[in-house]
Homo-oligomer: A and B are copies of this chain.
């Protein structure tokens, strides 16, 4: 049975693209943070939508589960197979062609296996901007971005990946090809299948291609870094800068002092922007269609007003691209600095923006009471209400002992997010990692509607089983 199935896979893809040796499968089986390693019957590497379709039909016939995989950079174990060894991984990485750019329509059509950075570069060649931007952009693929509805640093202005997608091509659980590759800003002709496949983490079908929105490139991007007394000040600064800058405010990132200290400790070539510490910082980015001088004048005016109003304690504005890059590095290196420091318990919560100060205050207090000495690495996309609120071991406590507390720590953080009508996964998805956790917070009704849709579109439960639901 397995032999027959694998022989059919080889007849579709050729020998080179059906990987059955475990050693060769390794990068497809292990997750990005190297915490989990699954097993697979085979790793399949199709190059065309027709091949994906044939493979999925074969899987449906033989009742073989499929794990669709892009760059395999996810953080919730959504793109690796489980321990059964009975599933196949279908990697889209050979489907990496930019199919078309329609400059006047501001759209790009890409195969799902394109790297995000590759599509960003293709857009820039046409003086266009693909605003999706995340730490893993050199490794993650568009198909993965869509399947997890990736967020990143420009959501404040441009929305999540969902908002950047106009159309999809999908291979369904039955192996049929749905051509929904539309480049339309408006189309009200029935149920929104596109947004159902987006964010479904490959459990309803395999996204094979997409039409993404592009934007005219702004003439200037200016970065500013501000020192803040507390999260309340951050909220005041956000409100003021949104009013003054409108949609030209393209990023607003919060960074706690402890997060910044970690970066400076592990990346000594980076410099503190102020030479002294403040409790919190915010990084602002403004994108301007007029000119660099206009942008600098405007953002300096905003910062001066913020200091007069008591929102910001100090502020610097990058006056060159290299200065701007240096400020962004302080934000971007937080995750890596944490990893160098030791193990930490990660969270990816979202709450209403207005509740951020309250969330930080209440959760900090409770964590420090329950786990004296624990260290909180609080940073994130404040403009979107999304915090990566991570917790590290107290000084002197071993990582191993600390990780045993994971469930209790998750409970405190997630309970507080939930009490403030928040989410326990803002931009990372559920995968295998949060599949059970979500049952504590989502209503039975919502879960049962999700299951009904899963059964409707994948009645054999062969698409990425055990993820999300």
Name A's B-contacting residues (CB within 8 A). 102-107, 148-149, 151, 155-157, 159-160, 162-163, 172, 176-193, 195-196, 198-200, 204, 215-216, 218, 235, 239, 242-248, 287-290, 298, 350-355, 381, 384-386, 421-430, 434, 438, 441-443, 445-447, 449-450, 452-457, 468-469
Contacts A/B (CB < 8 Å), 26 sampled: A104-B239, A105-B353, A151-B186, A155-B185, A159-B163, A160-B185, A177-B445, A178-B446, A181-B421, A184-B351, A184-B426, A186-B423, A186-B427, A187-B423, A187-B426, A188-B430, A189-B424, A189-B429, A190-B199, A190-B450, A192-B199, A195-B195, A218-B246, A244-B289, A246-B248, A246-B289
A186 adjacent to B160 (CB under 8 Å): yes
The answer to whether B426 touches A188, judged by C-beta atoms less than 8 angstroms apart, is yes
How far, in whole Å, are A288 and B182 apart by their CA atoms in the complex?
A: 31
Given contacts A104-B353, A151-B186, A289-B248, contact A193 B430 (CB under 8 A): no
Cβ-defined contact, A183 with B247, below 8 A = no
* Alpha-carbon separation in the docked complex, A183 to B193 (Å): 23
Residues of B within 8 A of A353 (CB): 104-106, 185
Q: Could you tell me the distance between the alpha carbons of A454 and B457 in the complex, rounded to whole angstroms?
A: 11
Q: How far is the CA of A300 from the CA of B356 in the complex (A)?
A: 41
Residue among B189, B381, B469 making CB contact with A425, cutoff 8 Å: B189
Would A104 and B354 be within 8 Å (CB), given that A179-B443, A426-B187 are in contact?
yes
A242 CA / B218 CA spacing, docked (Å): 10
Q: In the complex the two chains form, what is the Cα distance from A176 to B155 in whole Å?
A: 33
Q: How many copies does the complex hold?
A: 2
State A199–B176 Cα separation when bound (angstroms): 25
Residue of B nearest to A238 (CB): B104
Given A160-B186, A247-B157, A350-B185, CB of A178 within 8 Å of CB of B289? no
Contact among B155, B157, B450 for A186, CB-based, below 8 A: B155
**Contact for A196 among B196, B242, B354, B423, CB less than 8 A:** B196
Closest to A301 in B: B290
A192–B148 CA distance with the chains assembled, in angstroms: 11
Could you tell me the distance between the alpha carbons of A385 and B421 in the complex, rounded to whole angstroms?
37
Q: Select A442's contact among B190, B204, B442, beta carbons within 8 Å.
A: B190
Given A106-B353, A189-B423, 19 new contacts (CB under 8 A): A102-B352, A105-B354, A105-B355, A178-B445, A178-B449, A182-B421, A184-B350, A184-B426, A186-B385, A188-B423, A190-B438, A190-B446, A190-B447, A191-B199, A191-B204, A191-B454, A247-B248, A449-B457, A455-B456
* Bound Cα distance from A106 to B191, whole angstroms: 28
Pick from B287, B289, B430: contact of A245, CB below 8 A.
B289
Which residues from B are CB-within-8-Å of A245? Answer: 289
Contacts of A244 in B (CB 8 A): 289
